[in-house]
């Protein structure tokens, strides 16, 4: 029901453009993210590369390397890490910080998107924040060494 009622909020991408809906299905999920990862369904490939929420606004949904379903009630907020070019190329990464049920690890960050420019994900973070009623933080700029 959550996937069938998907409401898109924005396009997402990662730096590895070789990842497709089919390859995401074939790659193993990170052990640290298993509670948020679901098996991708080929019929829902239209969700690949998109972030949004279920129509009831109970679940944040995004699909890049894996298909993620994150209960909005467990979301603490969104963060954008912003890097300026130095020795590296610079860029930005957008994360969602979530509560966990683990005593030794109360929160974890999941990568939603990456972009080449330091400010490329600011508006998406603002959109996600407004749609979920969760705060967002734009990190300080730092040099990409």
**pLDDT, tens digit only, all 145 positions of the chain:** 688 899 999 999 776 777 777 776 667 778 888 889 888 777 888 899 999 999 999 999 999 888 999 999 999 999 999 999 988 889 999 999 999 887 788 899 999 999 999 999 999 999 999 999 999 999 999 997 7
Q: Are 11 and 50 in contact (CB under 8 A)?
A: yes
Residue given tokens 């974890």 in the structure block? 108
Q: What is the CATH number of domain 7-144?
A: 2.30.29
What pLDDT is recorded for position 73? Answer: 97
pTM: 0.91
Give the residue from 48, 37, 65 showing the smallest Cα distance to 6.
48
Classify 90 in phi/psi space as left (phi over 0), alpha (psi -120 to 50) or beta: left
Residue 97 phi/psi, 5° resolution?
Answer: -100, 130
Q: What is the DSSP letter of 88?
A: S
Q: How far apart are CA 61 and CA 63, in angstroms?
A: 7
Q: Are 2 and 57 in contact (CB under 8 A)?
A: no
Q: Are 135 and 77 in contact (CB under 8 A)?
A: yes
Q: What six digits make up the tokens of 63?
A: 């699909």
């Amino acid at each position: 029901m959550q996937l069938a009622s998907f409401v898109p909020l924005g396009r997402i991408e990662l730096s590895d453009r070789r990842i497709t809906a089919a390859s995401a299905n074939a790659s193993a999920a990170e052990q640290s993210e298993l509670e948020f990862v679901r098996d991708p369904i080929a019929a829902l490939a239209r969700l690949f590369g998109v972030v949004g929420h279920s129509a009831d606004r109970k679940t944040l949904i995004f699909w890049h390397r894996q298909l993620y379903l994150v209960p909005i009630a467990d979301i603490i907020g969104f963060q954008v890490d912003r890097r300026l070019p130095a020795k590296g190329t610079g860029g930005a990464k957008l994360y969602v910080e979530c509560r966990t049920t683990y005593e030794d690890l109360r929160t974890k960050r999941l990568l939603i998107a990456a972009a080449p420019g330091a400010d490329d994900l600011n508006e998406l973070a603002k959109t996600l924040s407004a749609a979920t009623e969760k705060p967002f933080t734009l990190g300080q700029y730092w040099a990409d060494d």
